[in-house]
Amino acid sequence: MNPVIGQSQKEIDPDMWRDEKYRLPLAEHDFGAIFKGLQRVGFTQHRIATLTGVSQPQISAIMRKSGRRVMGYGVLVRIVSGLEIPLGFAGLSWCPDGHGEPPEGTVRSLW
């Protein structure tokens, strides 16, 4: 599956996040690995910055520091939202499938 669609403005295929190579880095908030993966499929640091609302110098710093974790909740939310990552894949939702739906049998009014 090619996660890149579009030509001049590369876009994210949200299904790419289901790939096992992204799941551990997402769970560990290792966005340096995520950004490097995006670069391998043709995304520039500037495009990643545009999608996430994080400055290009910050993107570069995150990528440069191997294993550096993004810790700030606001930054996490901007990155996850901008890259169309299901919240649960990054540990920002309590859903086992990562899509924000309660587990089967859960009372919706409590969710």
**Residue of 69, 74, 105 lying closest to 92 (CA atoms):** 74
Residue 96: pLDDT above 80? no
- pLDDT attached to residue 33: 92
- Long-range pairs of 3-6 with CB within 8 A, sequence gap ≥ 24: 3/41, 4/41, 4/42, 4/43
The predicted-structure confidence for 48-86, as pLDDT tens digits, reads as follows 999 999 999 999 999 987 656 787 888 899 999 999 998
CB-CB contact of 29 with 69 (8 Å): yes
pTM above 0.85, yes or no: no
**CB atoms inside a 10 Å sphere around CB 83:** 21
- pLDDT attached to residue 10: 78
For the chain, what percent of residues have pLDDT higher than 70?
A: 74
- pLDDT attached to residue 104: 55
Angle at 23 between CA 20 and CA 84, to 5 degrees: 110
